[in-house]
């Protein structure tokens, strides 16, 4: 089969380096960018010429914070990212990866995973096994997977809330090293979720010491009252382990904490000036989204789902839960107590009941107080409930997004959950470009594209992607800067963005005029080869 030869002619090229745009023709031969030339009046007859005057061509966007680990195993293709111009996703974030596993704690891992992911049956045990099967099934985008610390801990010791034994620490370290040998791009933690919330700093350092120049990406222990201490912990882990640090979805939750990002970014900048490699990511919204169980006090989440459900159906435990949410606990990120029942919106349940309503509305309909209503929803849904929390301030968002070392990540929950998901699922990258670059002018377009492409590729070692240059893989997006926008709304069905004309993956057009072309040619990328 002859290689495809395509010329994107008359393009306004934003190359992903942060440099100024220029007019040119981008020549694609096979999977690669063959050359970039001045706009020509004529072209060779054996090339397909696509005129795109007035359009931007940039490297395909890199979503540095994705939870689409399960996408290849769904019955329906997940196009939520490719429709945004995303060509590569970094998965396995927040301590959650679906591999590795073993027979001893397979049930614990499955129960743990299925509070976030739809059931994902796969064969094998290793990180390599999982992603080999995903590749065989077909990937809509490229994937650069991390391995989750929560997954490693379950592999070694289940969901116990205790320090690991020496033997259990060895199991975690060995499994991490094997996953890194299998091409994992780094290690992630989710320290507000079990079993990450049971994990001491020293335990994380022992694992992170294995990383070398691969990334330690952390959903920190607290993004609210203890935000500053949590940033300091993340920096200390990076220093002790001598590894790069990626602070995930950086934000300040709760009105009483708004403005604290001025301090946290000063800490990050000071660390960078001392030679530490620290970077961040952010999503362009002032509402977060996660599982509703994250609103429970930490002691409720000890053990597996059966233990949690037992506590949620015990009247005596109800009173303790209510009191803890009313008064808070030291070190706990008490989201319901912080934002109130009006600020917690149910986005997905197995039977779709209550979706699009907040806890205040639901509690009124049930005739219960908000905490009791939340517990009832969790029990009736077997803990499988997703939520949206309105907890952030746009001043912090602007400060973090415009920080020079911040990238963009969607943090969309795994595909296949259904319901009325956070609009970031389909809208993150167009929202940055349409709302915060074109309309509010927080930064120029070249800087925004750099954050989405070149900076992200550099952070995760994607040496042949993220920049428009000869011999780079032709992962490209063509968009109309005057039109591009997200269209999603909270408490509504998801809707794709507008303004994306075309998306190219390894030289093939996979999205044209907002329509996916049915082509699954994404690659599971390998950190050992770049």
Q: Which residue ranges make up each domain of the chain?
A: 61-286+392-464, 297-387
> pLDDT digit string (tens) for 246-283?
999 999 999 999 999 999 999 999 999 999 999 999 99
Per-residue pLDDT at 410: 98
Top pLDDT among 316 and 460 is at 460
Per-residue pLDDT at 524: 98
What is the Cα–Cα distance from 142 to 375, expressed in whole angstroms?
Answer: 39
Q: Is the pLDDT of residue 513 over 70?
A: yes
Tell how strand 147-148 and strand 186-190 pair up.
Answer: parallel
The string of DSSP letters for 267-316 reads: HHHHHHHTT--EEEEE-S-SEEEEEGGGGS-GGGGSS-HHHHHHHHT-HH
Across 135-142, average pLDDT:
98
> pLDDT digit string (tens) for 349-401?
999 999 999 999 999 999 999 999 999 999 999 999 999 999 999 999 999 99
Of the chain, the end-to-end C-alpha distance in Å amounts to: 27
> pLDDT digit string (tens) for 8-65?
999 999 999 999 999 999 999 999 999 999 998 889 999 999 999 999 999 999 999 9
For tokens 């060995």, the residue is: 174
The string of DSSP letters for 365-428 reads: HHTS-HHHHHHHHHHHTTT--EEEEE---HHHHHHHHTSTTEEE---PPPTT--SS--THHHHH
For tokens 């970094």, the residue is: 90
Instruction: Tell me the torsion sign for CA atoms 116, 118, 452, 440.
Output: negative
Taking all residues of the chain, what is their mean pLDDT, rounded to a whole number? 96
Per-residue pLDDT at 528: 67
Per-residue pLDDT at 1: 54
What is the Cα–Cα distance from 220 to 222, expressed in whole angstroms?
Answer: 5
Q: Which two tokens stand for residue 367?
A: 């005739």
Per-residue pLDDT at 415: 83
- Is the peptide bond between 406 and the residue preceding it cis, with omega within 30 degrees of 0? no
> pLDDT digit string (tens) for 91-114?
999 999 999 999 999 989 998 888
Per-residue pLDDT at 530: 45
Residue partners of 99: CB distance under 8 A and separation at least 6:
122, 124, 125, 126, 127, 129, 130, 131, 147, 151, 179
Q: Does domain 61-286+392-464 have CATH number 3.40.50.300?
A: no
């Amino acid at each position: 089969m002859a290689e495809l030869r395509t010329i994107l002619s008359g393009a306004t090229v934003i190359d992903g380096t942060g440099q100024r745009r220029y007019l040119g023709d981008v020549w694609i031969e096979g999977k690669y960018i063959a050359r970039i030339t001045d706009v020509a009046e004529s072209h060779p007859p054996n090339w397909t010429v696509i005129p795109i005057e007035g359009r931007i061509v940039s490297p395909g966007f890199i979503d540095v914070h994705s939870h689409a680990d399960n996408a290849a195993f769904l019955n329906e293709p997940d196009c939520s990212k490719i429709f945004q111009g995303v060509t590569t996703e970094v998965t396995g974030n927040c301590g959650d990866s679906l591999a590795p596993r073993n027979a001893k704690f397979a049930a614990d891992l499955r129960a743990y995973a299925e509070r976030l992911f739809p059931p994902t049956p796969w064969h094998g045990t290793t990180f390599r096994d999982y992603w080999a099967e995903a590749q065989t099934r077909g990937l809509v985008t490229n994937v650069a997977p991390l391995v989750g610390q929560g997954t490693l801990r379950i592999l070694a010791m289940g969901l116990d809330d205790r320090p690991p034994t020496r033997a259990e620490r060895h199991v975690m370290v060995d499994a991490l090293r094997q996953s890194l040998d299998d091409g994992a791009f780094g290690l992630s933690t989710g320290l507000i979720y079990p079993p990450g919330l049971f994990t001491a700093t020293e335990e994380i350092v022992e694992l992170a010491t294995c990383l070398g120049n691969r990334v330690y990406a952390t959903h920190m222990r607290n993004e609210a009252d203890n935000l500053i201490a949590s940033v300091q912990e993340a920096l200390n882990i990076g220093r002790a382990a001598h590894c790069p640090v990626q602070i995930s979805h950086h934000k300040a939750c709760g009105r009483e904490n708004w403005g604290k990002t001025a301090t946290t970014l000063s800490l990050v900048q000071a660390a960078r000036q001392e030679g530490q490699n620290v970077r961040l990511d952010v999503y362009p919204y002032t509402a977060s989204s996660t599982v509703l169980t994250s609103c429970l006090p930490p002691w409720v989440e000890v053990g597996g789902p059966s233990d949690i459900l037992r506590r949620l159906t015990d009247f005596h435990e109800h009173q303790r839960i209510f009191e803890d949410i009313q008064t808070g606990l030291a070190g706990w990120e008490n989201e319901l107590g912080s934002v109130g029942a009006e600020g917690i919106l149910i986005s997905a349940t197995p039977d779709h009941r209550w979706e699009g309503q907040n806890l205040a509305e639901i509690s009124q309909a049930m005739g219960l107080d908000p905490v009791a209503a939340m517990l009832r929803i969790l029990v009736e849904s077997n803990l499988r409930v997703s939520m949206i929390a309105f907890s952030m301030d746009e001043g912090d968002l602007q400060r973090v997004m415009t920080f020079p070392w911040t990238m963009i990540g969607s943090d969309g929950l795994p595909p296949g959950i259904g319901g009325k998901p956070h609009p970031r699922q389909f809208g993150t990258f167009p929202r940055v470009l349409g709302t915060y670059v074109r309309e509010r002018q927080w930064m120029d377009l070249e800087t925004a594209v750099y954050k989405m492409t070149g900076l992200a590729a550099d952070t995760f070692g994607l040496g042949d992607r993220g920049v428009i240059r000869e011999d780079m893989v032709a992962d490209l997006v063509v968009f109309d800067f005057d039109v591009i926008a997200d269209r999603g709304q909270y408490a509504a069905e998801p809707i794709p963005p507008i303004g994306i004309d075309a998306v190219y993956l390894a030289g093939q057009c996979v999205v044209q005029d907002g329509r996916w072309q049915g082509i699954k040619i994404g690659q599971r990328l390998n950190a050992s080869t770049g």
